[in-house]
Structure 1
Amino acid sequence: MSTAVKMDDEAKSKLEELQAEIRLKTGKKVTQQELLSELIETVVDSRSEFIDSFRDGSLELSEEEIERFNEGRIASGTETDEEDIDEILYG
């Protein structure tokens, strides 16, 4: 099943440039559909980085935000290890 995908002229031009470069360097003619499918498969391997590229603003906290976060933390005086956490979470 084939579905049309709308894209702006700049994206279409870049896709055509990539298509031409693949043909020039490999001698293989690929369709834009094949090219888009391969690009999607490539992105799936780094999905979280790709998704993060659409976020607004910075993913890093400022020093002030880190300080505010740490102000809300308290030490219970009890050392907790992975086994304790597993026991609490999973019984």
Structure 2
Amino acid sequence: MATAVKMDEETKSQLEELQAEIKLKTGTKVTQQELLARLVESAVESRTAFVDSFRDGTATLSDGELAAFNEGQISSGVETTEDDIDDILYG
């Protein structure tokens, strides 16, 4: 049983572009129903990331962004203990 799904024009256009790109790059013609089913399947496989994409606030960093951030860190050569941090924070 098929059910109609309402979407705005921009989303419909993006779906059609994706459908055309799949046809162009793979030679396989897919229906929008097949495309939506595959998109939902993909979202279910990475459920946590998909659910997190609806959270308010800052987005989580991708693995590449996180790696780039960590590469930018340098050691000052000074070891900081918990007591040092407590002294700085609480005097």
Band of TM-score, shorter chain: 0.5 to 0.7
- Structure 2, unaligned stretches of length 5 or more? 61-91
1:41-88 Cα deviation digits (max 9, x unpaired): 01111101111111111478xxxxxxxxxxxxxxxxxxxxxxxxxxxx
Please, which moves more after superposition, 14-23 or 48-57?
A: 48-57
1:45 corresponds to: 45
1:9 corresponds to: 9
What is the CA RMSD across the aligned residues, in angstroms? Answer: 1.5
Contact kept? 2:19, 2:35, Cα under 8 Å: yes
1:67 corresponds to: none
What letter is aligned with 1:51? V
After superposition, where does 1:62-73 map in structure 2 within 5 Å?
A: none
Contact kept? 2:53, 2:59, Cα under 8 Å: no
2:29 corresponds to: 29
Identity %: 70
Return the TM-score normalized by structure 1: 0.62
Aligned length: 60
Cα distance in 1 for residues equivalent to 2:59 and 2:36: 28
- Structure 1, unaligned stretches of length 5 or more? 61-91
Return the TM-score normalized by structure 2: 0.62
Cα distance in 2 for residues equivalent to 1:10 and 1:58: 24
Cα distance in 1 for residues equivalent to 2:49 and 2:21: 26
* Shift >4 Å, 4+ stretches: none
